[in-house]
Amino acid sequence: MVMEINTSEMKRVQLFEVIGRIDSTNAAELGSALDRSVDEGRNNLVLDLGGVEYMSSAGLREMVRILKRVKRGGGDLRIANPSDRVKEVLELAGLDSIFEIYPTQVEAVGSF
Amino acid sequence: MGEVSRLAIPARLEEVRHACDFVVEVAEAANLDERAVYHCQMAVDETITNIIEHGYGYEGGDSQIEIICRTEGEHFLITITDDSPAFNPLEHEAPDPSEPLDTREPGGWGIYFIRKLMDDVTYDRVNNRNQLTLAKRLPAAAPLLAESGAEAEEMFPTQALNGDAAAVFPAGRLDSNTSVMLEKTLNIQLQQGHVWLFVDMSQVEYIASSGLKVLVAAWRRAQGQAGDVILSSLQPRIVEIFEMVGFDMLFQIFPDLDAALAAQSKRT
């Protein structure tokens, strides 16, 4: 197992917990999981990155693509619990001012 | 020159992970810290992924990509060689994070990260092969943290205006390092009774969440003292960030400083 995605349907939010590595071989898989939720009209998404040990720009690209999609539908994609390294990469990419990032899953889910 | 480690992988995406594992192992053995190891891993991933996607167009066939690691002087060096058509990534303008989201070339992110994460990157075309060398400073030679602390003591330029107003001119990237500088500059102005703060953003290329937080904190304080924080001359990319987070509703924003001052003098 390189990457695992667990999805939970909550009252107002769809929660995605990702475990493992996100790179160019599987970023599209993460994107499709989020796409399915948006296709069903669920635009409030939380992506819990607590279990992500590594993410390359391929993962960021999918996150930005989905963010644009959910914003158009009046929703948001919020990030929970990124590691220091992933947070640093988000900041380097200038994405920390575009994504709402929360230290815990509870706060991210509660923010909607 | 230290020990040399070498790995060759077929030019296919599913092989990139082996290159990452290899670099992590060698970088750890070279005493790089966890953060530097991560940077090396990501730079190698981005480099090789770009070669496979753009150099070979996903059709690497039997081509091999070679990764050689060694320490030389103060640096850990990673040289990546491939036989795809000549391409010097350093000649291509890397996208800036301050660029509006919609116009960013997604493919360019790899190059951007490679440059950001490594201390030096050089390109050579050797024997009809592309050769990119990534350098990461070894721990002993890494700059001391105190350097960024010293930066935080500096201030952005300001200009006292009539009465209880002042203009502030931040510049460059407002990220977690430089936001402290802005915070200090704004706080001193507020302490001096300049509760009408005209922040001219014309020289600001990028603003991170830390910079946004500083502006909001100053705005609250100024409002509490019957003043305001008024912004002008935002670059389009900054406007986009403001709109994304809804700050365009919070702040008064003017096309330039003169317009901001004129609007204010009319009101009072």
Shared domain for B116 and B24, answered yes or no, is yes
Q: Work out how many domains chain B is built from and give that number.
A: 2
> Domain check: are B9 and B133 in the same one?
yes
Chain A partners of B214 at a C-beta cutoff of 8 Å?
A: none
Q: How far is A3 from chain B (nearest CA, A)?
A: 13
The answer on B128 and B28 residing in a single domain is yes
Q: Are residues B185 and B246 in the same domain?
A: yes
pLDDT digits (tens, 9 = 90+) for B104-150: 555 567 888 898 899 999 999 999 999 999 999 998 654 544 444 44
Given pLDDT bands bounded at 50, 70 and 90, which one contains residue B103? low
**Which chain B residue shows the shortest CA-CA distance from A69?**
B102
Report CA B165 to chain centroid distance, whole Å: 33
Q: What is the pLDDT of residue B177?
A: 78
Cβ–Cβ of A101/B14 closer than 8 Å?
no
The DSSP-derived string for A6-40 is: EEEE-SS-EEEEEEEEESTTTHHHHHHHHHHHHHT
Give me the pLDDT at residue B242, please: 84
Whether residues B63 and B90 fall in one domain: yes
Instruction: Tell me how crowded residue B31 is: count the other CB atoms within 10 A of its CB.
Output: 13
Distance from CA of B243 to the nearest CA of A (A): 10
0.80 exceeded by the pTM? Answer: no
Indicate whether B43 and B129 sit together in one domain.
Answer: yes
Strand partners, B48: none
B195, B186 in Cβ contact below 8 A? no
B120-129, long-range: CB within 8 Å, 24+ apart, which pairs? B120/B75, B121/B90, B122/B90, B123/B88, B123/B89, B123/B90, B123/B91, B125/B86, B125/B88, B126/B81, B128/B83, B128/B86, B129/B81, B129/B82, B129/B83
The residues on B that touch A, with CB distances below 8 Å, are 13-14, 16-17, 20, 34-35, 38, 41-42, 45-46, 49, 53, 96-98, 101-102, 106, 109-110, 112-113, 116-117, 175-176, 206-209, 211-212, 241, 244-245
Per the CB < 8 A criterion, the answer to whether B231 and B251 are in contact is yes
Q: Is there a contact between B209 and A56 if contact means CB atoms under 8 Å apart?
A: no
Q: How many domains does chain A have?
A: 1
Residues of A with CB under 8 A from a CB of B: 2, 21, 23-25, 54, 56-58, 60-61, 64, 68, 84-85, 88-89, 91-98, 101
Q: Provide the pLDDT for residue B144.
A: 46
Amino acid in position A110: G
Cα separation of the two ends of chain A: 31
Last residue of a domain, one of B141, B167, B184: B141
Do B137 and B35 fall within a single domain? Answer: yes
What is the DSSP annotation of chain B? ----EEEEEESSGGGHHHHHHHHHHHHHHTT--HHHHHHHHHHHHHHHHHIIIIISTT--TT-EEEEEEEEETTEEEEEEEE-SSP--GGGSPPPPTTS-GGG--TTHHHHHHHHHHSSEEEEEEETTEEEEEEEEE-GGGSPPTHHHHHHHT----EEE-STTEEEE--EEEESTTTHHHHHHHHHHHHHTT--EEEEE-TEEEEE-HHHHHHHHHHHHHHHHTT-EEEEE---HHHHHHHHHHTHHHHSEEESSHHHHHHHHHHH-
Task: Tell me if A88 and B14 make a contact (CB, 8 A cut-off).
Answer: no
What value does the mean pLDDT take over residues B49-58?
91
Q: In the listed set B141, B157, B191, which residue is the last one of a domain according to the structure? A: B141
Cα separation, B121 vs B132, whole angstroms? 7
The minimal CB distance from B41 to the residues A24, A54, A64 is found for A54
What residues contact residue B258 under an 8 Å CB cut-off, 6+ apart? none
What CATH number is associated with residue B87? 3.30.565.10
Min Cα–Cα distance to chain A from B13, Å: 6
Q: What percent of chain A has pLDDT over 90?
A: 86
Question: Which CATH number belongs to the domain containing residue A51 in this structure?
Answer: 3.30.750.24
B157-177 pLDDT per residue, tens: 999 998 899 999 999 888 877
Q: Residue B260 is part of a domain; what is its CATH number?
A: 3.30.750.24
Whether residues A56 and B42 touch (CB distance < 8 A) is answered with yes
ipTM over 0.95: no
On whether both B182 and B61 belong to a single domain, the answer is: no
Q: Which domain holds residue A35?
A: 3-110
Q: Within this chain, do residues B91 and B52 fall inside the same structural domain, yes or no?
A: yes
CB contact under 8 A, B45 and A92: no
Contacts of A84 (CB under 8 A, 6+ apart): B35
Closest by alpha carbon to A88, among B172, B34, B80, B75? Answer: B34
Q: Are A37 and A6 in contact (CB under 8 A)?
A: no
Q: Are strands B203-207 and B171-174 parallel, antiparallel or unpaired?
A: parallel
Same domain for B29 and B92? yes
pLDDT of residue B102: 55
Q: B133 lies in which domain range?
A: 5-141
A75: pLDDT confidence band, cut at 50, 70 and 90?
A: very high
Nearest to B16 among A24, A89, A92 (CB): A24
Boundary (domain end) residue, out of B116, B141, B166: B141
Using an 8 Å CB-CB cutoff, list chain A residues near B245: 97-98
Of B17, B116, B209, the CB nearest to A97: B209
